[in-house]
Every structure is written in structure tokens, then in C-alpha cells.
Amino acid sequence: MQPLFRPLSFVDLDAMVTLEQAAHPYPWSRGLLGESFGGRYFTGSLWLGEQLLGYFIADRILDESTLMNICVAPAWQGKGLGRLLLEHYLRRCREQELTRLWLEVRASNGPALALYRACGYVESGRRRDYYQSASGREDAVLMQK
């Protein structure tokens, strides 16, 4: 069976919450995830049958987009799904003629930083002590493409 890409909808919220809580030590709340549909937001997800393997949430304003969240199921991490989701996001941005792309990532997330750099993002700044962490706070690396 081949994985299937599709946009997320509100009926996917339970699966998103479950995946978010499993994949991130400081997950988005159900309320925040639920606010990510319609309006200025667009999403993509990767499914294998009824199983949500990963998703992204992004916003768009004029010709810009920010990748707000990208999440891959722990059992599927390290298998290239993050890259597939990011490439799907970048394709959707091209289709919408979005020319300036942004994201932020934990400074300690080496695999994500390497992926973003490999896909053409460059560091454009830092937000000091932005993220909660086990040792207190950590910086967010701001990146643009």
C-alpha cells in the first residue's frame, strides 16, 4: 500500500492530537491544532490506510508562508517522511506562488536543521529562550527560503 497525501480536515483532529502528543515533548494543544483549518492556513498530511503518519500546518499571507508545524509519527521518523512532507509543502507553496518562506526550529533539533538547509533554507536570526525545554529554555532558529 502506498502512502497518500491529502489536506487535513477537522475530522482528522483526534488523529492529529494523538500524533502531536506522541511526537513532541511539548505538543500543541487540541485547541491550537483545531484553529489550523481554513482562512489563511493550509495543511498536508501523509496516510497509510487509516494511519496518520505525519502532517504539516502552514499559513499564507500575501506571497509569504510560514511552516508552523511539521510532525512525523515516532515509529516513522528517520525514514524520509519529514522530507516528503517538506517537499509537499514546498510544492504547494510554488502552486500558490508563495515566494518568501519562513520557519522556526529548536536550536537543538539537528536533523530538522539539516533537512531545512538541504531544502534551501538559510538561518536568518534567532529568538533567544523561545522554546520550553527539559533544561529550561532554548533558542529558536529562524530560517527563510
Note the pLDDT tens digit of each residue in 90-117: 999 999 999 999 999 999 999 999 999 9
Same domain for 92 and 107, yes or no, is: no
What is the pLDDT, as a whole number, of residue 134? Answer: 83
User: Do 26 and 18 form a contact (C-beta atoms < 8 A)?
Assistant: no
Q: Which domain holds residue 65?
A: 1-98
Q: How many domains does the chain have?
A: 2
Tens-digit pLDDT profile for residues 27-63: 999 999 999 998 899 999 999 999 999 999 999 999 9
Interatomic CA distance for residues 13 and 92, integer angstroms: 21
3 and 74 in a common domain:
yes
Asked if 14 and 31 sit in the same domain, the reply is: yes
**Residue indicated by cell numbers 502506498:** 2
- Polymer length in residues for the chain: 145
So which residues are the catalytic ones? 104, 116
Same domain, yes or no, for 57 and 1? yes
Q: What are the φ and ψ backbone dihedral angles of 138, each rounded to 5 degrees?
A: -140, 160
pLDDT at 12 over 80: yes
